[in-house]
Amino acid sequence: MDKKYVIAIDGPAASGKSTTAKLLARKLQFIFIDSGAMYRACALFALENNVNLEDISSLSDLIERIEISIEYSESGNRIYLNGKNVTERIREADITKLSSEIAVIGIVRKKMVELQREIGRSGGVIMDGRDIGTVVFPNADFKFFMIASVKARAQRRWLEAKEKGEDLSLNEIEDELVWRDRNDSTRLLSPLKKATDAIEIDTTNKTITEQVDMLLQIIKEKS
Ligand code: CDP
């Protein structure tokens, strides 16, 4: 794709955003940024430094020192936190919960949004998250909002966990998703919300290929 579009994909946890964004980026030869990985890296940094999320002064010092970099690769992006590869660690359950807790804090969001805008400045980027179409890139060329039933989303995360050798029950996963969706959509700052001009895609009964093709077709039609 010659045009250097900015494509925003938002939606609740496990709705298919990252998988779709990654494959779409490969097809369009765009950069893919998983903004959730950045909040996860913040959460890990706070945990490693024993910073209590209510201690805004310590958190502010911490955020000043945080360096997040993303290395793009065909097999998937690698996330570095102050030089350390944390790609796998940030997907663990303790960080998943903490990322949603740290994401409500204004100074954290401010720093992450700055970084995200900087990465997307020259276009040719697909970014997925919760507030990409509403706050980070309100003028994005394309905005998608992905949804899926909670049952389908829990099933996907259960399969992913199983493949990694983690033994989690479907109920546990469903409870975590429901808790996180509520926390993400009821917060005051940049809540999870569909932008008024976003195209909604329900992935409940779609395969990954169908999802990617659907977005690709919409992009090509409007190009
Ligand atoms: O991949 P998954 O859907 O499980 O979550 P994620 O995209 O890695 O995001 C982890 C958490 O970061 C979310 O639950 C949100 O609280 C937060 N987040 C956010 O606030 N804004 C974003 N743009 C992306 C993620």
The model's pLDDT over 96-106, given as tens digits with 9 standing for 90+, comes to 999 999 999 99
Asked whether the predicted pLDDT for residue 160 surpasses 80, the reply is yes
Prediction pTM value: 0.96
CA distance 84 to 76: 17
Q: Specify the ligand 1 atom closest to the Cα of 13.
A: 3
Q: Which of 221, 220, 210 is nearest to 23 (CA)?
A: 210
Give the pairing of strands 78-81 and 84-85.
antiparallel
Q: Which amino acid is at 157?
A: R
pLDDT of residue 133: 98
- Nearest Cα neighbor of 72 from 1, 121, 21 is 21
- Ligand 1 touching residue 35 (CB < 6 A): yes
Q: Whose CA is nearest to atom 8 of ligand 1?
A: 36
Å from CA of 5 to ligand 1 middle:
22
Domains of the chain, earliest start first: 6-203 (3.40.50.300)
Ligand 1: atom nearest CA of 131 is 23
Tell me whether strands 78-81 and 6-10 are parallel, antiparallel or unpaired.
unpaired
pLDDT, one tens digit per residue, over 59-69 is: 999 999 999 99
The H or E element that residue 59 is part of is helix 56-65
Q: What is the pLDDT of residue 62?
A: 96
Task: Please indicate whether residue 39, judged by its CB atom, sits closer than 6 Å to ligand 1.
Answer: yes
Task: State the Cα–Cα distance between residues 88 and 160, nearest whole angstrom.
Answer: 13
Hey, what's the torsion of the CAs at 177, 178, 184, 187, to 10 degrees? Answer: -150
Q: Give the closest residue (by CA) to ligand 1 atom 15.
A: 100
173-188 pLDDT per residue, tens: 999 999 999 999 999 9
Q: What is the pLDDT of residue 167?
A: 85
Is the CB of 18 within 6 Å of ligand 1? yes
Give, for ligand 1, the residue of 22, 128, 130, 186 to mutate: max count of ligand atoms closer than 8 Å to Cβ.
Answer: 130
pLDDT at 209: 96
In this prediction, residue 182 carries a pLDDT of 96
CA distances for 29 relative to 4, 103, 124, angstroms: 10, 29, 8
pLDDT for the residue 75: 77
Contact of 91 with 84, CB cutoff 8 Å: no
* Distance, CA of 186 to CA of 196 (rounded, Å): 18
CA distance 14 to 150: 9
98 φ, ψ (degrees, to nearest 5)? -65, -30
Residue 166 or 213, more confident? 213
HSE toward the beta carbon, residue 164, CA cutoff 13 A? 14
